[in-house]
Amino acid sequence: MPDPSPLDAPCLLDGPDAAPATLLLAHGAGAPMDSPFMNTIATGLAERGWRVLRFEFPYMAQARRSGQRRAPDRQPVLLQSWRDQVAQASAEGPLFMGGKSMGGRMASLLLDELAATDSVLGCLCLGYPFHPPGKPEALRIEHLQTLRHPCLVLQGERDTFGRRTEVEAYTLSAAVQVQWIPDGDHSFKPTKRSGLNESDNLQQAIAAADQFMAWCCRDRSGG
């Protein structure tokens, strides 16, 4: 049986229909669209007035149906899933692309392409995988050095996919903003000894995403 179309995959919608823009939000490699992290980010942004549409890549949708874990789809499938989702949602008005880890990376790879032809205003990366853990030489930043459209990376300072001391040494496009989540890991969770808590870090990430999207909307309208 052939793999289902990405548009056959389940989705979750939060936020008002009259929102200034819709955030298409993709999951990371290992956890689905309704993980605690994804739930918190989506509902938090919805409470701030944004429309958030979560979707799953084909492999995750199949894992949901079968109850068995699957390896992520190959990059061409992931990218086509993004193209299909943007094409379907573009009639709804202004869009942002975003995602957790792998989902955000795939969105950023297509940002300039889709912003040039569709209603995409920017990209939001929640914990960008700058390199595999323990392999700082295997960088995934080439496209981030040439991006022309706004991209916000929210990154934990302790993220093993790109710690602050590493990322601040990279040369990235002026269109890429990196904001740091204090003592956060790849999901923004701090250590106990830091005296910080996970909820506060997630709320900080939500506030930064809200400000970024509001700025992009104002910039688009000339405000």
In which band, very low, low, confident or very high, does the pLDDT at 149 lie, cut at 50, 70 and 90?
very high
Report pLDDT for 118: 77
3 state DSSP class of 105: helix
Report pLDDT for 1: 30
pLDDT of 64 higher than 60: yes
Phi/psi of residue 3, nearest 5 degrees: -60, 145
Q: Which residue has the higher pLDDT, 219 or 151?
A: 151
Tell me the per-residue pLDDT of 1-11, one tens digit each, with 9 for 90 and over.
333 334 455 79
CB 118 within 8 A of CB 145: no
- How many whole angstroms separate alpha carbon 106 and alpha carbon 23? 15
- How many whole angstroms separate alpha carbon 156 and alpha carbon 115? 27
Structure tokens at 35: 């993980």
CB 118 within 8 A of CB 90: yes
CA distances from 205 to 143, 153, 162 (A): 23, 10, 17
Task: Give the chain's domains with CATH numbers.
Answer: 6-221 (3.40.50.1820)
Q: What is the mean pLDDT of residues 167-194?
A: 97
**Residues in contact with 191: Cβ distance below 8 Å, sequence separation at least 6, in sequence order:** 158, 183
Tell me the per-residue pLDDT of 96-115, one tens digit each, with 9 for 90 and over.
999 999 999 999 999 999 99
Tell me the per-residue pLDDT of 66-103, one tens digit each, with 9 for 90 and over.
999 999 999 999 999 999 999 999 988 999 999 999 99
- How many whole angstroms separate alpha carbon 165 and alpha carbon 123? 23
Tell me the per-residue pLDDT of 10-34, one tens digit each, with 9 for 90 and over.
799 999 999 999 999 999 999 999 9
Tell me the per-residue pLDDT of 115-135, one tens digit each, with 9 for 90 and over.
988 799 999 999 999 999 999
